Amino acid sequence: MSSPDKKIARCVSCEGFGWFEDESSGGSEDCDWCAGAGYVYRDGGGRDSPIPPADYTAVAAELERLELERLREMGYQGGARKPWQQAIRKDTKLGRNPYQDEGKS
């Protein structure tokens, strides 16, 4: 599934947020580059690809570490939160736990 030369990197497009605010509508939309995850796989050649939702569970610990790092950069004090636990994302698609959708279609 994961190759040695593939690592997780912060999405360069949305800077880890996973979404953009749409100023014209006042809403938000998921980042296309990372499929809303905020992070992408970067291979040895520097190419980014979205992390497949099926991989989220496997990379959850790494994502949490990166998210904590990002929050600290922003001056956030405290523990890391999952995207769906962040109040700022409450009204976005990430405001709910994606894991709840597992096994459903």
Q: Provide, rounded to whole angstroms, the least separation between the CB of residue 18 and Zn ion.
A: 6
| Interface with Zn ion, residue 20, by CB under 5 A | no
Is the CB of 33 or the CB of 76 nearer to Zn ion? 33
Comparison of 36 and 103: residue with beta carbon closer to Zn ion = 36
* Residue 59 parent element (H or E): helix 56-73
If we measure between CA atoms, which residue out of 16, 1, 82, 3 comes closest to residue 42? 3
Stretch binding Zn ion (CB under 5 A), from 2-10, 34-42, 55-63, 81-89: 34-42
CA distance 61 to 42: 17
Q: How far apart are CA 62 and CA 88, in angstroms?
A: 22
Interface with Zn ion (CB under 5 A)? 11, 13-14, 31, 33-34
